[in-house]
Amino acid sequence: MKYSLILLAALALASCSSSEEGSVENASADSAATPGAIAPLADARLFHLLDLPNLEDNIHHDTLLIYTIHGLPDGTFLLAGKNMEDDREGLRLIQYRPRPDSSAEVLAVSKPAYDSQVMLPTFFVTNDTADGVIILANYGGLESWGQNVFWLKDHQFKDLGWLDVTERGWKTRLDSLQQWRTSIAPRTVVSEADGQFEFTFTTDSVQLFDDLQGGTEVMLPSTRIKYRYDGDQMVLIVDGTPRYRKKPL
């Protein structure tokens, strides 16, 4: 009788264990098949962060106010600057080659940053210069407003879209400790496959200015959020599900 009870208990335990394992597997399968979920970017290659120092001016222009200059891997240069005589459009990124007379051979010009006080570029590249350069241009003033993403390739700036996120931390200002929105660009990971780009973040959390579901200034763990340029537009992805901006009628 004693052995019969032990056998029955063992069978019952095995049955419970089997049921629990099945439920976990089913839950995992259901999660992977979540309606509307976007598939991971397969066979993606990494564009690694490239630290390019700010250089001294190597060109002269009477009406161009230069903010930063960086030497690119292909031997050309990139500056952020604006026309001192026209404040309507503001800063732009300009790829150029300096001439012996200190003038510039302009190769490419980005769209303007309009009312942003800064347009600070962060660069991402592969080991092949033919792949071009991904540039995250930080917009804002004292604090970050987010990043405009450009793909500089074959002397053209392609606008990939906007990353509506920032890193929020603490900064001492005016003798007090304040929360501060800083550029997320140095904490961004860029990967690409078949002309699609994915942007993820290595911070513990990110501040999402607009979650496209009615929430603003939303703090989320960085593991829950990423952006995907799908070849047509930049898409916010939260918990694996894309969220699209409403297009004007």
| 240 torsion bin: left (phi>0), alpha (psi -120 to 50), beta (else) | left
> Two tokens at 152?
């500089």
pLDDT mean over 6-18: 41
Q: Is position 108 within any domain?
A: yes
Q: Is position 20 within any domain?
A: no
* 4, burial (CB in 10 Å: exposed 0-12, middle 13-18, buried 19+): exposed
Question: In this predicted structure, what is the pLDDT of residue 15?
Answer: 44
Q: Is position 204 within any domain?
A: yes
pLDDT-based confidence at 30, cuts 50/70/90? very low
Q: Is position 142 within any domain?
A: yes
Q: Is position 10 within any domain?
A: no
Q: Is the per-residue pLDDT at 32 higher than 60?
A: no
Question: In this predicted structure, what is the pLDDT of residue 35?
Answer: 65
Backbone angles phi, psi at 152, to 5 degrees: -95, 110
User: Are residues 83 and 63 in contact, defined by beta-carbon separation less than 8 angstroms?
Assistant: yes
Q: Is position 2 within any domain?
A: no
> Residue 100 sits in which domain range?
42-243
Backbone angles phi, psi at 88, to 5 degrees: -70, -35
Bridge partners of 193, per DSSP, are 196
Give the separation between CA 195 and CA 198, rounded to whole angstroms: 10
Q: Is position 13 within any domain?
A: no
Q: How many domains does the chain have?
A: 1
pLDDT mean over 126-134: 96
Please tell me the least confidently modeled range out of 12-26, 59-73, 147-161. Answer: 12-26
Q: Is position 193 within any domain?
A: yes
